[in-house]
Chain A
């Protein structure tokens, strides 16, 4: 893993948590949406908070796709789940939601899971004989 790839992972984590929090902030302002009025959902997209959340989630998607191009899905997802921890902090201290001690314990478990998976390889052999993306990137740098 290079420093640049850790930066991509950090972007995945921050944009997803902040994006989801902004969506929640926007939807709380608009109130409950009914399934019988789908137009309300379209209207919600253009509210400032939801729109800002969507912009951040677009950033999340770009960095997420970049990570998927050189790492396994089963590595990227847990490695970026530190975002749930940030999201819980934002929900508690910005949206003022009640977060019980058990939820904080849940945050600890998720963090442990993240720490556990990131110590392993980001890409594993799929048995198709193709070079690993990281190995290919190093070869590319050597060639250039």
Chain B
């Protein structure tokens, strides 16, 4: 790949990662607000569970971010190989999500989860070769 191609690849992956992270954090936060879907479905049925999810504003904003991420991914896949773009974008999102989940969702990201993040990070780096 030429330097320009490398830069455009990085830009394409970055746009997928940023929008996906925002979407994941917002939807995870929404699901925490809503509660266990299995319990809601047991109490109010499937339609009640769907209504609980769709009526949450934070979920709506999260879906918009995920839609933007989807179109960025679609664009990237039309220019580069799936085995590079797919794992790189989605796995890097996992690392940015770990940082964002600790900051915004106050999740307890312990040593085990950071180690998993590191292993996936190394794996993703290798997938680029």
Interfacial residues, chain A to chain B (CB-CB below 8 A): 4, 20-21, 23-24, 27, 30-33, 35, 41, 44, 50, 57, 61, 65-66, 68-70, 72-75, 77-78, 81, 84, 87-88, 91-92, 95, 97, 99-100, 102-103, 105-110, 112-114, 116-117, 119-120, 124-127, 133, 136-137, 140, 144
Q: Is the CB of B87 within 8 A of A102?
A: no
Q: Is the CB of A113 within 8 A of B123?
A: yes
Q: How far is the CB of B39 from chain A (nearest CB, A)?
A: 5
**Which 9 A-B pairs give the minimum distances between C-beta atoms?**
A106-B126, A109-B123, A113-B119, A24-B82, A110-B123, A117-B116, A124-B108, A102-B129, A106-B127
Which residues of chain B have C-beta atoms less than 8 A from A114's C-beta?
116
Asked, given contacts A81-B120, A97-B81, A124-B107, whether A106 binds B125 with beta carbons under 8 Å apart, the answer is yes
A interface footprint on B17-44 (CB within 8 Å = 1, 0 otherwise) = 0000000110110011011111100100
Q: Is the CB of B82 within 8 A of A20?
A: yes
CA distance A63 to B60 in the complex (A): 17
Contact of B25 among A73, A84, A109, A110 (CB under 8 A): A73
Q: Which residue of B lies closest to A87 (CB)?
A: B86
Contact of B110 among A69, A73, A124 (CB under 8 A): A124
Q: How far is the CB of B19 from chain A (nearest CB, A)?
A: 15
Q: How far is the CB of B109 from chain A (nearest CB, A)?
A: 5
What does DSSP make chain A's interface, helix, strand, loop or mixed?
helix
Q: How far is the CB of A28 from chain B (nearest CB, A)?
A: 8
How many chain B residues touch A (CB < 8 A): the figure is: 57
Asked, given contacts A110-B119, A110-B120, whether A74 binds B78 with beta carbons under 8 Å apart, the answer is no
Q: Is the CB of B74 within 8 A of A107?
A: no
Can you give 9 A-B contacts (C-beta < 8 A)? A65-B31, A69-B36, A70-B38, A74-B101, A74-B102, A78-B120, A88-B83, A106-B123, A113-B117
Which residues of chain A have C-beta atoms less than 8 A from B73's C-beta?
23
Q: Which of B75-105 contact A (CB under 8 A)?
A: 75, 77-79, 81-83, 86-87, 90-91, 93-94, 97-98, 101-102, 105
Cβ-based interface call for B61 (8 A): no
Asked, given contacts A73-B97, A102-B129, whether A23 binds B123 with beta carbons under 8 Å apart, the answer is no
Asked, given contacts A69-B31, A73-B25, A97-B82, whether A109 binds B110 with beta carbons under 8 Å apart, the answer is no
Cβ-based interface call for B115 (8 A): yes
Q: How far is the CB of A82 from chain B (nearest CB, A)?
A: 11
Cβ-based interface call for B6 (8 A): no
CA distance A112 to B87 in the complex (A): 15
Q: Is the CB of A91 within 8 A of B109?
A: no
